[in-house]
Structure 1
Amino acid sequence: MGKISLSLITVLLIFSACGKKEEQAAPPVMPYKVVAVAKSNTSLLAEYPATLEGVTDIDIRAKVDGYIEKIYVQEGQEVKKGQLLFKLETQTANQEARAAKAKVDAAQVEVNRLKPLVERNIISDVQLETAKANLASAKSTYQSILEKINYASIKSPVNGIVGTLPLRLGSYVSSQTTEPLTRISDISTVYAYFSVNEKQQLDIMMHAEGKTFQDKIAKMPQVNLILSNGMEYEQKGRIETFSGQANTQTGSFNVRARFLNTNKLLRSGGTGTVQIPTHLKDVILIPQNATLEMQDKRIVLIADKENKVKAIPVEVRAVPGGKFFVVDKGLNANDKILIEGIGIVSEGTVIKPELVDYATIITPEKKAIN
């Protein structure tokens, strides 16, 4: 009897030890961030890097040969149409003008002398006509020299901002000089140029109102411009054009947005980021990186009432920007979806949900500059 009791105790001790080993081997419950989704009205911002250019950027070049005698402006100065920018040396041209004017006067004297002689039939009309032709030729030469002198005073063709001044006083310039004297940029309005790929272009157009392509562009919401310092420009802009076809090398479409620039803050050659809003009503949004694609299906992981991970197939639509999906089917309000551990946590795993505010996931940060 004592032997049987001893054996029973030994068996119980073995089972007890095994139970402890199994208890120790059980995996710990890991924390993972989740969000409780909700239906909402929201605006999503798709962002595209852009370069800025004025309405016109005009290279200022000399039309005649000469040395720079005077520079009347400074780099970055605002100028008006017709304002004097440069003056070229005209000493030689002035001398030529005086000589040409003397020839005009002499030719005029000859015409005046021959007219009465022809009227009295003392000489033939041929001599007078020849004198008139000489007078016309002298006037033409004189006028050409005056135009040359006028071209030596170089004026701004538009209102705008003076660019760099690479040449200095005394520099010799001509119409063949490679480098322009400067560039005048009309920046009363600034264009932001950027590119979108084919998928982005389709997403933008499919969410836009209107029947025709041009009608959709006209009805697109105003866009934002984020400056290179991260601040939002005070003026809203509008998209005006998409290129007619995709670039064969990059597969992208060129887009132009227009921004008023009354305070002249924006400058040609600058950079920024154009934000295109998409307005959505009564929808569930989820981050694209919170989903998996399996066998042509889009999968979302949710934490059920027992905090077990469950895989749910969903039907989604991409929205411009490539960060979010609109969920058309598969999720309900207050479902808790995993936003980390995607592709790592397996279905059926018990987790410790760490709830993250849904609004912080779908609301972009915005800064403004006035």
Structure 2
Amino acid sequence: MKKKLLPILAVLLIISSCGKKEQQAAPQGPAPFPVQTVMVQDATVYQEYTANLEGQQNVEIRPKVNGFIQKVYVDEGQVVKKGQILFKLETQTLNQDASAAKAMVQAAQVEVDRLKPLVDRQIISNVQLETAKAKLAQAKSAYGSIAANIGYGTIYSPVNGVIGSLPFKEGSLVNPSSETPLTTVSDTKIVRAYFTMNEKQLLFFNKTFNGATAAEKLKSVPEVSLLLVDNSEYDQKGKITAMNGLMNATTGTTEFRAEFKNPQGILRSGSSGIVRLPIIDKNIILVPQNAVFEVQGKQIIYVVEKGNKVKSRIIVTNGTSDLNFIVTSGLSEGEVIVVEGASKLKDDMEIVPQQTKNSTSEKSDAVAIDSVKTNTTPAKK
């Protein structure tokens, strides 16, 4: 009985296996894919420029007289007020010179006082008195110069700001001709961002903003934003306040200056950032970045055509937003594109389109970024 059952079980297994293969080989219907309808709209495009940040005032503190540093009253990074004492130089030698000069003044004054009554009585000529007066004036001038130098031994801050580095310590000999300043006081209530545009960018800038002069064009430029080194956006908007009227023949660039308020002291002189200039770009096409893939350096997107069949198409883009490409050619308004799953598609493949919300149309001012980062020259003092 067992021998008869074995062939029957084998036949049933073969039939079952063939049935599974037939089920696997059975053709499947078109798969669903999310799609969007291409729309033409306006967007704010941000051009980006690498910038150096400098305080509104960066004042180098230098001694006016030779001397040893007797006392340093501040520390690096300290906030100081205008008129606050910073350094005290040793002036003992100058004090001795001042005493001698004061004695010369007194002696000259005595001589004038002696000769004046004699001239009044016409005992001596007026020439002698005038000569004595000239010597008195000379002595007073010498004394005043020494006294001023003594005053220069006490160094005060000329502006409100933040103390920079302190390369000289107490006991160091300093002089006015030294290449290194005693310190730098940087006024950072307003921080200036210096950046450059090359010739092509400058031409675009001049064509975009109205005005016959540089000042008129700058008035029509909207507020700019600043990206910090951690890629966060600074919470204060800035304004481009100046542009160089000449092109630097060596670098082929023109320097611009934007100013940002710095009430919390977040920005520091000497640091860097990225100035973002907003420009309204009208009648452009935005497509999701997920919809675009690259083949041999060309950007390709799938377009849904008649019969819900997809066809690959080469497009040209210029800049990106966080989620979208700005398409300059290759697509027209009203066409339908596949926004996800492009890697699973082939030309003439039929799909089931599933219309999704057009994320670019939900924002009337969709933000796009034209990456135009440039190197900047050091800020001019």
TM-score clears 0.5: yes
Task: Tell me the CA shift for residue 324 of structure 1.
Answer: 5.0
Using the alignment, how far apart are the partners of 1:258 and 1:182 within structure 2? Answer: 24
Structure 1, residues 190-217: CA drift from partner, whole Å, max 9, x if none? 1111233334334444443556554332
Asked if 2 retains the 8 angstrom alpha-carbon contact of 1:290 and 1:340, the reply is: no
Using the alignment, how far apart are the partners of 2:68 and 2:315 within structure 1? Answer: 76
**Aligned amino acid, residue 273 of structure 1:** I
Task: Tell me the CA shift for residue 51 of structure 1.
Answer: 1.2
Give the 5 Å matches for 1:18-37: 36-37=37-38
Asked if 2 retains the 8 angstrom alpha-carbon contact of 1:286 and 1:324, the reply is: yes
Give 1:307's aligned residue: 309
Give 2:156's aligned residue: 155
Give 1:77's aligned residue: 78
Give 1:234's aligned residue: 235
Give 2:11's aligned residue: none
Asked if 2 retains the 8 angstrom alpha-carbon contact of 1:76 and 1:162, the reply is: yes
Give 1:11's aligned residue: none
Structure 1 unpaired stretches of 5+: 1-23, 293-297, 366-370
Give 2:147's aligned residue: 146
Give 1:173's aligned residue: 174
Question: Share of identical aligned residues, percent?
Answer: 44
Asked if 1 retains the 8 angstrom alpha-carbon contact of 2:163 and 2:184, the reply is: yes
Shift of the 173–313 alpha-carbon distance from structure 1 to 2, 3 Å rule, reads closer
Shift of the 175–250 alpha-carbon distance from structure 1 to 2, 3 Å rule, reads closer
Asked if 2 retains the 8 angstrom alpha-carbon contact of 1:55 and 1:189, the reply is: yes
Give 2:265's aligned residue: 264
Give 2:57's aligned residue: 56
Using the alignment, how far apart are the partners of 1:184 and 1:152 within structure 2? Answer: 18
Asked if 2 retains the 8 angstrom alpha-carbon contact of 1:308 and 1:348, the reply is: yes
Shift of the 313–153 alpha-carbon distance from structure 1 to 2, 3 Å rule, reads closer
Aligned residue pair count: 335
Shift of the 337–218 alpha-carbon distance from structure 1 to 2, 3 Å rule, reads farther
Task: Tell me the CA shift for residue 34 of structure 1.
Answer: 6.6
Shift of the 207–127 alpha-carbon distance from structure 1 to 2, 3 Å rule, reads closer
Structure 1, residues 244-299: CA drift from partner, whole Å, max 9, x if none? 3444444433222111223332111011111112234564234899599xxxxx99
Moved more, 323-332 or 254-263: 323-332
Using the alignment, how far apart are the partners of 1:251 and 1:291 within structure 2? Answer: 35
Moved more, 56-65 or 127-136: 127-136
Structure 1, residues 103-148: CA drift from partner, whole Å, max 9, x if none? 1111111110111111112222232222212211111111110011
Task: Tell me the CA shift for residue 223 of structure 1.
Answer: 0.8
Using the alignment, how far apart are the partners of 1:85 and 1:353 within structure 2? Answer: 74
TM-score (norm 2): 0.73
Give 2:118's aligned residue: 117
Moved more, 196-205 or 325-334: 325-334
Shift of the 313–275 alpha-carbon distance from structure 1 to 2, 3 Å rule, reads closer
Give 2:16's aligned residue: none
Using the alignment, how far apart are the partners of 2:353 and 2:93 within structure 1? Answer: 88
Shift of the 137–207 alpha-carbon distance from structure 1 to 2, 3 Å rule, reads closer
Moved more, 278-287 or 56-65: 278-287
Moved more, 212-221 or 177-186: 212-221
Give 1:3's aligned residue: none
Using the alignment, how far apart are the partners of 2:191 and 2:238 within structure 1? Answer: 10
TM-score (norm 1): 0.75
1:65 aligns with 2:66: yes
Moved more, 71-80 or 147-156: 71-80
Shift of the 273–262 alpha-carbon distance from structure 1 to 2, 3 Å rule, reads same
Give 2:197's aligned residue: 196
Equivalent position SS for 1:49: strand
Moved more, 177-186 or 225-234: 225-234
Give 1:359's aligned residue: 359
Using the alignment, how far apart are the partners of 1:240 and 1:347 within structure 2? Answer: 53
Structure 2 unpaired stretches of 5+: 1-24, 370-381
Task: Tell me the CA shift for residue 62 of structure 1.
Answer: 0.7
Equivalent position SS for 2:51: strand
Give 1:14's aligned residue: none
Task: Tell me the CA shift for residue 347 of structure 1.
Answer: 5.9
**Aligned amino acid, residue 164 of structure 2:** G
Equivalent position SS for 2:176: coil
